[in-house]
């Protein structure tokens, strides 16, 4: 071979001789340089690449030492034969291409989507700029999250949700998925997790990803079936008692008492209370968290700000029972918090200075108006007599059940063809066969008021033609 040509990178910190070594090695391994082939002399290659002879010599010597080249006196360097690699049993295929991004729909009715225009940009920006001036926040914070935010959360949760806790019980983390993973490490590996059916698929996936056993317990109008929970052999039950996802039901006091009694009857049992959408209730009195009624230290309370602020806002929290704190400190006390201290202190001030309460009041009015306009528009449309709207008293979505002769799959497909993104209810079931017929989730968090008439007409076209 007379020359070896490749681009030498002048930035990045890797020496030229290593770049040359890697390039020749790659060529030998893929067959670009064959066994017995002679390489250019050190001086010739150095002149060709505009590098020093010492650079080429260092690369050649490394390859010779590793058995890829052999040096023949007064002749030069030659490629050594490589051992024959075994023939693969099946042809190697390239990795699958990255999944394409989700299609964009003119009408975004996906559940759990908050309106980005409702984010308090001016207030958050002002607080962030002020917090950024605190140089001490550049140092490492507490593993559980900074004390000031944990204190602020305790005050908020007690005042608005009736949660009974102290700052040392609160863990701050970057999203609910992360905190559920952490929680699994605190409980025995043989713990069986009971999930609501239908329920929150991401939570079940988090447990399964860690090799934990998951069972699915049917939900009736009052929540998880307590008798079937008892029969399941589960030690930990994941509940959304204040606003069941996805049905929107509320667990009444008798069923709550049954759940608390189930947890207290056996050592090692816990309830995970996901206080899903508790901020957005449009009728009736606020429903206190189940954790506030727990007298036996068996409820693990969790919440997040991604629904009320923005999906990309990755601050979530756990309130651990005191009984789980020793395991947490043993396993995680030396680790760092996964949330920036600047973000934590900005949120702390947002809570403490009353901005959070004002934001919730403003967005609660906004979403209530959208819910009322959308439900009224659908009922007044030609679909109205055949349409049933369920679970619309809270949250950012409700269920649409259509008694018009279309299957759930047909409803979803025809809606998508008209540019409306609706989620089939069966996607929230572990066993889709159990899902009621012809029912979809309709979110309205990202749906501007002025688009509601056009959305209604799109659904009329989809389901009546």
Give the tens place of pLDDT for each residue, 28-49: 888 888 999 999 999 999 888 8
Provide the 3-class DSSP secondary structure of residue 72.
Answer: strand
38-49 exposure pattern, b = at least 16 Cβ within 10 A, e = fewer = ebbebebbbeeb
Residue 218 and residue 127 share a domain: yes
Residue 163 and residue 311 share a domain: yes
Q: What total of structural domains would you count in the chain?
A: 3
The domain in which residue 141 lies consists of: 119-357
Provide the 3-class DSSP secondary structure of residue 424.
Answer: strand
State residue 86's pLDDT score. 55
Residues of the chain with confidence (pLDDT) below 70? 1-2, 10-13, 84-103
Alpha-helical (H) ranges within 210-248 are: 226-232
Residue 281 and residue 148 share a domain: yes
Residue 282 and residue 223 share a domain: yes
Element housing 196 (H / E): strand 192-197
* CA 304/CA 317 separation, integer angstroms: 6
* Backbone phi and psi for residue 296, each to the nearest 5 degrees, phi listed first: -125, 15
If we measure between CA atoms, which residue out of 222, 289, 293, 301 comes closest to residue 264? 293
Residue 262 and residue 174 share a domain: yes
Residue 383 and residue 349 share a domain: no
* CA 177/CA 207 separation, integer angstroms: 9
Predicted confidence (pLDDT) per residue in 280-314, tens digit: 988 777 789 999 999 999 999 999 998 889 888 88
Q: Choose the final residue of a domain: 338, 357, 376.
A: 357
If we measure between CA atoms, which residue out of 239, 215, 198 comes closest to residue 424? 198
* CA 372/CA 362 separation, integer angstroms: 16
Residue 248 and residue 158 share a domain: yes
Residue 371 and residue 322 share a domain: no
State residue 102's pLDDT score. 55
- What does the DSSP 8-state code read for residue 171? E
Residue 371 and residue 237 share a domain: no
DSSP string, 412-424: HHHHHHTTEE-EE
State residue 286's pLDDT score. 78
Residue 315 and residue 170 share a domain: yes
| CATH number, residue 375 | 3.90.1150.10
Residue 269 and residue 209 share a domain: yes
State residue 1's pLDDT score. 59
State residue 164's pLDDT score. 96
Model confidence, pTM: 0.78
**End-to-end CA, the chain:** 71
State residue 426's pLDDT score. 96
102 lies in a domain? no
CB distance 428 to 247 below 8 Å: no
Q: Choose the final residue of a domain: 357, 375, 394.
A: 357
125 lies in a domain? yes
217 lies in a domain? yes
CB distance 362 to 118 below 8 Å: yes
421 lies in a domain? yes
């Amino acid at each position: 071979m007379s020359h070896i040509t490749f681009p030498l990178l002048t930035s990045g910190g890797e020496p030229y001789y290593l770049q040359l070594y890697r390039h020749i090695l790659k060529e030998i391994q893929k067959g670009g340089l064959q066994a017995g082939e002679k390489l250019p002399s050190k001086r010739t290659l150095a002149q060709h690449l505009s590098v020093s002879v010492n650079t080429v010599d260092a690369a050649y010597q490394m390859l010779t030492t590793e058995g890829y080249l052999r040096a023949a006196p007064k002749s030069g360097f030659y490629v050594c034969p490589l051992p024959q690699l075994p023939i693969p049993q099946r042809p190697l295929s390239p990795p699958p291409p990255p999944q394409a991004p989700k299609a964009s729909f003119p009408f975004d009715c996906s559940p759990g989507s908050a309106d980005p225009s409702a984010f308090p940009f001016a207030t958050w920006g002002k607080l962030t700029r002020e917090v950024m001036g605190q140089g001490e926040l550049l140092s490492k914070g507490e593993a559980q999250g900074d004390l000031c935010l944990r204190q602020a959360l305790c005050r908020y949760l007690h005042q608005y949700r009736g949660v009974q806790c102290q700052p040392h019980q609160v863990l701050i983390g970057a999203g609910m998925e992360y905190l559920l993973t952490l929680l699994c490490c605190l409980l025995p590996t043989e713990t069986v997790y009971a999930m609501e059916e239908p329920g929150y698929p991401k939570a079940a996936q988090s447990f399964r990803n860690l090799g934990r056993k998951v069972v699915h317990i049917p939900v009736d109008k009052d929540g998880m079936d307590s008798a079937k929970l008892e029969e399941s052999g589960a030690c930990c039950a994941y509940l959304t008692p204040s606003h069941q996802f996805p049905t929107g039901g509320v667990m009444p006091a008798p069923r709550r008492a049954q759940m608390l009694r189930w947890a207290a009857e056996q050592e090692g049992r816990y309830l995970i209370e996901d206080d899903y959408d508790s901020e957005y209730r449009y009728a009736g009195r606020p429903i206190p968290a189940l954790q506030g009624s727990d007298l036996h230290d068996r409820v693990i309370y969790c919440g997040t700000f991604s629904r009320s602020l923005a999906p990309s806002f990755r601050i979530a929290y756990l309130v651990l029972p005191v009984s789980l704190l020793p395991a947490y400190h043993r396993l995680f006390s030396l680790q760092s918090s996964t949330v920036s201290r600047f973000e934590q202190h900005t949120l702390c001030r947002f809570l403490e200075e009353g901005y959070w309460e004002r934001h919730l009041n403003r967005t609660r009015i906004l979403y209530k108006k959208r819910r009322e306009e959308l439900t009224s528009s659908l009922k007044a449309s030609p679909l109205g007599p055949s349409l049933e709207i369920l679970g619309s008293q809270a949250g950012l979505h409700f269920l649409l059940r259509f008694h018009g002769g279309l299957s759930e799959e047909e409803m979803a497909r025809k809606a998508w063809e008209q540019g409306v993104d609706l989620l089939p209810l069966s996607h929230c079931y572990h066993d889709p066969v159990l899902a009621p017929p012809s029912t979809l989730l309709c979110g309205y968090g990202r749906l501007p008021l002025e688009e509601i008439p056009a959305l209604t007409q799109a659904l009329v076209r989809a389901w009546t033609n």
